[in-house]
């Protein structure tokens, strides 16, 4: 989520390197760019926030939630099953998060992470962004796993490793390293994200060496190689989409492609309502392919080029879609996306344990709707608590501590 959001995908303006000032297409076109919530200090201004991509994080997070609600949703409302393929394909939201992560981090840091000091600052910002809330949710799910072992394994698999080695691995964010498994299932993407962060300076150096056309060509090659590799691995026994091999293929090709496409976008893209048409067309094409391909088939990964086009188009969209994504409600929801990503499974597991949806399958329509609404309300509440009491305060204090230890 720096978004699968593995925000997560994304970064707030408060985290941006003070010396970063890459031009956005809006600036190049002579349009005023909207600044982020907090201006970075220093002699040069921080890069303006790309509001449409913050809004896109909201869309991706909602898709994740629907994906994890799918069993309860379609058992409680079986008449919805004919329309279920977009929900069953919700794992593709991780593609959006990984692409966003590479793109946004390149936008904010590619031109500034060039020394050991800047790299340490970059890594500390990523730790502050992700680890505090991750650790809290991992501990909560770990406690649930050890105290409600039978129920936990019923929900997440009878072979789930509920033992000390896996618990220690979770503390160190190793949930996607075989044979470990994250207690909070969505957190698998964060392990992959952190490996990408470690490699970021090398990827940034390569990205900046390429011409815009070369970066675009390289991105297309990386995406094609990723799709072909995923299909080959799945053909020879890899479990799509959750195999360890699949996870690393996804982060490798998507994070890298996101960075490369930023290099093309900053030089060639211009904000325009035409990008709204591209985004809508590519989004509809993804939807068509989702309905045409079995959601359990690795063939759904062939939607990756279209998903990538959708993300890049959203970055420059200025028409109705762009205005929607940049609207205040979407911005607020996008800021909450990381907390939603890490807490919604805790809520779903807890509510399903206290009030199992399986006992309501034959209940009246109002009762079944009420269960879904109750779960969503609890998810929103947990998200707000996590964001305002854990994610933001912890990040602010960690960044402040680093600033005191490493003054200019």
Q: Measure the N-to-C terminal CA separation of the chain; round to a whole number of Å.
A: 32
Of 8-12, 86-90, 260-264, 374-378, the one with minimum mean pLDDT is 8-12
In the chain, domain spans:
58-405
C-beta separation of 256 from 203 below 8 A:
yes
β-strand partners of 272 = 317
Mean pLDDT of 126-144: 98
Burial track 200-210 (b if 16+ CB lie within 10 A, e otherwise) = bbebbeebeeb
Q: Is the pLDDT of residue 231 over 90?
A: yes
% of the chain surpassing 90 pLDDT: 84
**Confidence tier at 53 by pLDDT (50, 70, 90):** very high
Those residues with Cβ within 8 angstroms of residue 142's Cβ, 6 or more apart along the chain or in another chain: 167, 170, 183
% of the chain surpassing 70 pLDDT: 88
d(CA 148, CA 190) in angstroms, rounded, equals 25
Neighbouring CB atoms inside 10 A of 318's CB total: 20
C-beta separation of 256 from 334 below 8 A:
no
Please, what is the average pLDDT of the chain? 90
Of the two residues 250 and 27, the one the predictor is more confident about is: 250
Q: Is the pLDDT of residue 1 over 50?
A: no
**Confidence tier at 111 by pLDDT (50, 70, 90):** very high
Torsion region of 160: left, alpha or beta (phi above 0 gives left; psi -120 to 50 gives alpha) = beta
Those residues with Cβ within 8 angstroms of residue 188's Cβ, 6 or more apart along the chain or in another chain: 4, 175, 176, 181, 182, 242, 247
pLDDT of residue 236: 80
Q: Is the pLDDT of residue 2 over 50?
A: no
d(CA 78, CA 69) in angstroms, rounded, equals 13
Location of structure tokens 């909602």: 62
The angle, 0 to 180 degrees and rounded to 10, between the axes of the packed helices 188-209 and 93-109 is 50
Among 47, 74, 37, 95, residue whose Cα is nearest residue 307: 95
Burial of 62 (0-12, 13-18, 19+ CB in 10 A): middle
pLDDT of residue 120: 96
Please write the tens of the pLDDT for every residue from 332-343.
Answer: 999 999 999 999
Sign for the pseudo-dihedral over CA of 145, 150, 153, 154: negative
Sign for the pseudo-dihedral over CA of 303, 305, 306, 312: positive
Angle at 315 between CA 312 and CA 319, to 5 degrees: 115
Q: Is the pLDDT of residue 384 over 50?
A: yes
Mean pLDDT of 239-268: 94
Those residues with Cβ within 8 angstroms of residue 300's Cβ, 6 or more apart along the chain or in another chain: 89, 92, 241, 289, 290, 293, 294
Q: Is the pLDDT of residue 117 over 50?
A: yes
d(CA 233, CA 273) in angstroms, rounded, equals 39
Please write the tens of the pLDDT for every residue from 150-166.
Answer: 999 999 998 999 999 99
**Confidence tier at 34 by pLDDT (50, 70, 90):** very low
Look up the pTM and report it. Answer: 0.90
Maximum CA extent, the chain: 65
β-strand partners of 317 = 272
Q: What is the CA radius of gyration of the chain?
A: 21
**Confidence tier at 367 by pLDDT (50, 70, 90):** very high
Please write the tens of the pLDDT for every residue from 82-91.
Answer: 999 999 999 9
Location of structure tokens 């090659």: 221
Please write the tens of the pLDDT for every residue from 160-214.
Answer: 999 999 999 999 999 999 999 999 999 999 999 999 999 999 999 999 999 999 9
The secondary structure element, H or E, covering residue 194 is helix 188-209
Among 1, 17, 12, 5, residue whose Cα is nearest residue 402: 17
Of the two residues 234 and 287, the one the predictor is more confident about is: 287
Location of structure tokens 């200019």: 408
d(CA 122, CA 378) in angstroms, rounded, equals 34
Q: Which two tokens stand for residue 369?
A: 């709707």
């Amino acid at each position: 989520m720096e978004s699968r959001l593995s925000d997560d995908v994304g970064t707030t303006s408060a985290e941006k390197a003070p010396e970063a000032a890459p031009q956005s297409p809006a600036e190049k076109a002579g349009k005023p760019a909207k600044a982020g919530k907090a201006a970075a200090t220093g002699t040069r201004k921080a890069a303006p926030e790309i509001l449409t991509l913050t809004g896109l994080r909201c869309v991706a997070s909602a898709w994740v939630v629907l994906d994890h609600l799918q069993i309860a949703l379609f058992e409680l409302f079986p008449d919805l099953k004919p329309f279920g393929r977009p929900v069953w394909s919700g794992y593709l939201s991780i593609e959006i998060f990984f692409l966003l992560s590479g793109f946004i981090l390149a936008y904010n840091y590619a031109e500034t992470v060039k020394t050991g000091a800047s790299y340490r600052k970059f890594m500390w910002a990523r730790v502050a962004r992700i680890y505090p809330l991750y650790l809290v949710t991992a501990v909560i799910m770990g406690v649930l796993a050890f105290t409600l072992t039978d129920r936990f394994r019923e929900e997440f698999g009878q072979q789930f490793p509920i033992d000390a080695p896996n618990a220690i691995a979770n503390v160190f964010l190793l949930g996607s390293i075989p044979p470990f498994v994250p207690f909070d299932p969505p957190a698998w993407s964060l392990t992959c994200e952190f490996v990408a962060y470690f490699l970021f300076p090398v990827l940034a150096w390569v990205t900046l060496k390429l011409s815009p056309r070369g970066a675009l060509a390289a991105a297309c090659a990386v995406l094609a190689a990723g799709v072909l590799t995923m299909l080959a691995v799945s053909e020879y026994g890899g479990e799509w989409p959750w195999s360890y091999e699949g996870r690393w293929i996804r982060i490798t090709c998507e994070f890298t492609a996101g960075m490369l496409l930023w290099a093309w976008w900053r030089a060639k893209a211009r904000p325009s309502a035409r990008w709204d048409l591209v985004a809508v067309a590519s989004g509809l094409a993804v939807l068509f392919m989702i309905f045409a391909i079995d959601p359990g088939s690795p063939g759904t990964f062939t939607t990756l080029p279209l998903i990538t086009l959708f993300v890049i188009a959203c970055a420059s969209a200025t028409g109705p879609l762009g205005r929607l994504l940049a609207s205040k409600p979407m911005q607020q929801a996008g800021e909450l996306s990381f907390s939603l990503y890490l807490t919604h499974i805790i809520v779903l597991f807890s509510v399903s344990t206290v009030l199992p949806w399986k006992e309501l399958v034959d209940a009246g329509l109002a009762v079944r709707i009420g269960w879904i609404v109750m779960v969503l309300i609890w998810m929103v509440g947990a998200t707000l608590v996590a964001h305002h009491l854990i994610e933001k305060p912890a990040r602010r204090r960690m960044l402040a501590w680093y600033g005191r230890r490493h003054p200019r």
